[in-house]
Structure 1
Amino acid sequence: MLTGHRMSRRSRRLIGLALASLVLAAAGAPRPAHADTDDLQVRLMAETLLAQDITKGHGVTVAVLSTGVDPHTRTRSGTLRPGTDLVGLPHPKRLEGTLIASFLGGSRLSSDLPGLAPAVDILPVRVAPDDGEHGADDWWGGSRVCDALARGIRYAADHGADVELVSAACWGYDYEQKQMETALDQARSRNVVVVAPNEPVGDGDWPPLPAAVPGVIGVGTLAKDGTRWSKFSAKSSVTLVSAPGARTPGVGPGGRPGWTFWGVPPAVTWVAATAALVRSEFPHLSPAQVAQAMAVSAHHPKNGYNADIGFGVVNPLQALVAAKKIEARPAPLTAPGVPDSAHFGRPGTIGAVRHDPALLAGLGGLILVSAGALVATVVRLRGGRRTGEAAASYPWTSAT
């Protein structure tokens, strides 16, 4: 018992982790990975909000390797750092990257976007163009994709990133593979956690880079029914954990609310945010230990692991509990494995549209209801003690 003094921030957090473990144990076994995605999103946000009672990501810089972030973006409490443009095409839209930033760090312009890790600083690194930009088709059709991704990984590592969120994938031959491995070695030497999609790429059985390189946290994307979304996620052992890619609210460039986006970017953002929360609370964990904490704490499928969804659905709250337990343990020798046979298609961006504000408010309400139920349990315990295809139904660059 602590008397006569205020508990330290670290003590309060450790107690919070112990309570979190009790809460989820009392709630029963994790739900199966094929649970309804709408319910899954609500549960994930509830778990994230509880994790934020422990840490909101203070002291962590997340590099967003995407299509660029609008310089006027204002997250909840973190800062938007100066970044770089490795694409070189004029008049960037910066749509995908801005939506990712608003989901990751929240938005001061929308009370319904609390942010998955609202205190992180964001380092924008433009490594790809948005669909519809002048010259984008030629850019994607060239050999610059892997080069831009590798340079982006190196740039982020050199400029203080703790976590790198990579929203695109590429494929290549020996040169591209070596180039990517060299960039990731540099990131690993600086203790940077790299999160990337297990996204279909290429015209054959090509492993998606950088996710297929050992040491990277490969992310699977879940469809609305909670199963692997084959359009955005390959079936292979590259996937460590998965997250929903369902429609997700965001604030676009110029501070314009009313966007939704889906596919790889929201799924990767869920996982990168969890990594950022773990790294904020346990800054001395190696990237392999962060990956281990997320793998052992995921909502596991029946057999513990499968090539569709990896170790299961990411669990932000329990990842912190697991990280505390392995804080003093040695890191595992390897991370996610080598890809199994799969069919890959061209890397793409996201689907996104402007949406009715009622959708945003409705999701916020569902989040609050679910979070309220879990928070009430904590209170009682404390009281007792992208493919690039434009589908006709959602032209992602158009407004409604």
Structure 2
Amino acid sequence: MAVSLNAGFGLCGTAYGERPPPINPGLLPAGDPAAPPDKTERGSGVNGLCFRTQASSEVAVPTSQRSLDLERAWEFSRGAGQLVAVIDTGVQPHPRLPDLWAAGDYVAAGGDGTEDCDVHGTVVAGIIAATKVEGQGFAGVAPEARILTIRQTSSLYQAEGAGQNKSPEDFPDGYGKVSSLASAIRRAADMGARVINISLVACNPSSPAAEVAFGALGAAVRYAAVEKDVVIVSSAGNADNNCKSGNPSPDPLKPAQSLWDTVRTYVNPAWYDEYVLSVGSVDSNGAPSSFTVPGPWVGIAAPGEGITSLDARTTGISDGKYDNQGKYMPYSGTSFAAPYVSGVAALVRSRFPELSSKQVIERLQATAHAPAEGWNPYIGYGAVDPIAALTNEVPDELPPKESSPARSQQLAVPAAAPPPDNTARNVALIGTGAIALILTLGLLASFPIRRKFGMSEDDI
């Protein structure tokens, strides 16, 4: 699942590769008030009702997180002392999310971020920090971390008046703006979050560099990462209706071509890869998920298929939801890969409090299960490894964040092996031969002497 954001303007033009421009700190938005930029309303009729969930009775460790070996990772850190902001569709209060910090609502006036009609944000928060309970395999990656919730988007809300010409059967437009995302990031950083999880994206078919809203977003991520030392983790986006054009894979016929030159879908906030760790998805076997939008900004990967997490409608757990047309949707997408990485970031920050946000990101990437080429645009530096991130020494430098082109190289011809040194053998053989010769000559010389001094029968 991916959550789409609207920048509030039309987007058109031919795509061309472009890195983020220099950030203007003067565009940094205020974090207050935490209120929607427009008057909003919930959709009417059945399509305005909150989504239902599919409860799960699974007691084993979910397939999606078996590879993480969290029980062993918890021997080194459980995320104590870490505040993780979830900027999403809201987080519903749940007994396995104690001390949930309600930090504001940019969707509904007067809200505090603890309504989650879409279910999405509660699933994300559970993956990060759900406490461990006896007899239940599922638990959050950092069960001693705390969650700060800010609702910033919802598919069940829309701008006020947008439903006037719709029937009760029509879906709401959805609500969430890039400008309010920038404000939410600023707010989370100012409230002391050490990690910010953003499991939503804005996909644009042309460079957003000139748009004011994206300038504010760039200023916000820089402010959080540099001024407030926050680890920002974002989903890479799904190749669905929101990011359907995707991006091409590396061209084997043009191995030296930069992937920035082939971008046709800009994924934000992942585009600001100097400050944001973007997460692709892998399946239970560690293979890249087909829905991940590849890009030169992708930094790491985590499980994003077959997800189980907290149930936004009960006190239990859930593995899917139903939309208001009764369609079942299992939890799947880069949206759910990102919180696994956010959870590991909380573990690392708790164990190594002296590390800066940049150093934490580098540690996560350096200790990931790397692909053969070192980096690729689907899974970045590889699948996150909590135990390695908490225990390994890391190299000073990572491979370049581009696919390395193949190159030919003449290998040196190995030098001929030196002839064997048989001196000792030869000396031994010569000495043995000399002794044998002397003995033989001595034996032969003894025959005339014996004949000279010997007696015959005629002498008797």
Q: Which residue of 2 aligns with 1:215?
A: 275
CA shift for structure 1 position 224: 5.5
Q: Does 1:123 align with 2:183?
A: no
Kindly indicate whether the alpha-carbon contact (under 8 Å) linking 1:75 and 1:101 is maintained by their aligned counterparts in 2: no
Output one character per residue of 1:48-83: Cα deviation in whole Å (capped at 9) or x when no partner: 22111111001100001111011x32336x521122
CA shift for structure 1 position 215: 1.7
Output one character per residue of 1:98-134: Cα deviation in whole Å (capped at 9) or x when no partner: 12222222246774233210000100011111x4457
Kindly indicate whether the alpha-carbon contact (under 8 Å) linking 1:92 and 1:133 is maintained by their aligned counterparts in 2: no
Q: Which residue of 2 aligns with 1:193?
A: 231
Q: Say which structure is richer in helix.
A: 1
Distance in 2 (CA, whole Å) between partners of 1:338 and 1:153 is 28
Distance in 2 (CA, whole Å) between partners of 1:230 and 1:104 is 24
Output one character per residue of 1:147-196: Cα deviation in whole Å (capped at 9) or x when no partner: 22211111110111000010101145222321111101210210000000
TM-score in terms of structure 2 length: 0.57
Unaligned runs of 5+ in 2: 1-61, 160-170, 246-263, 320-330, 404-460
Q: Which residue of 1 aligns with 2:82?
A: 60
Kindly indicate whether the alpha-carbon contact (under 8 Å) linking 2:179 and 2:214 is maintained by their aligned counterparts in 1: no
Q: Which residue of 2 aligns with 1:228?
A: 288
Unaligned runs of 5+ in 1: 1-37, 340-400
Q: Does 1:248 align with 2:298?
A: no
Distance in 1 (CA, whole Å) between partners of 2:394 and 2:284 is 33
Kindly indicate whether the alpha-carbon contact (under 8 Å) linking 1:64 and 1:164 is maintained by their aligned counterparts in 2: yes
TM-score in terms of structure 1 length: 0.65
In 2 relative to 1, CA 258–118 (structure 1 residues): closer, same or farther, beyond 3 Å?
Answer: closer
1:162 to 180, 194, 200: 194
* Other structure's SS at 1:253 match: coil
CA shift for structure 1 position 284: 2.3
Kindly indicate whether the alpha-carbon contact (under 8 Å) linking 1:240 and 1:336 is maintained by their aligned counterparts in 2: no
2:174 to 136, 139, 150: 139
Distance in 1 (CA, whole Å) between partners of 2:130 and 2:117 is 20
Q: Which residue of 2 aligns with 1:80?
A: 100
CA shift for structure 1 position 203: 6.8
Distance in 2 (CA, whole Å) between partners of 1:293 and 1:65 is 24
Q: Which amino acid aligns with 2:173?
A: D
2:65 to 41, 49, 58: 41
Kindly indicate whether the alpha-carbon contact (under 8 Å) linking 2:369 and 2:384 is maintained by their aligned counterparts in 1: yes
CA shift for structure 1 position 258: 4.2
* Other structure's SS at 2:266 match: coil
* Other structure's SS at 1:138 match: coil
Output one character per residue of 1:20-51: Cα deviation in whole Å (capped at 9) or x when no partner: xxxxxxxxxxxxxxxxxx8673121x1x2211
Q: Which amino acid aligns with 2:121?
A: G
Q: Which amino acid aligns with 1:195?
A: V
Identity of aligned residues (%): 27
How many residues are matched? 287
1:184 to 199, 206, 221: 221
In 2 relative to 1, CA 299–338 (structure 1 residues): closer, same or farther, beyond 3 Å?
Answer: closer
Q: Does 1:288 align with 2:358?
A: yes
Q: Which amino acid aligns with 2:106?
A: L
CA shift for structure 1 position 271: 0.6
Distance in 2 (CA, whole Å) between partners of 1:336 and 1:254 is 44
Distance in 2 (CA, whole Å) between partners of 1:203 and 1:147 is 23
Kindly indicate whether the alpha-carbon contact (under 8 Å) linking 2:295 and 2:377 is maintained by their aligned counterparts in 1: yes
Q: Which residue of 1 aligns with 2:367?
A: 297
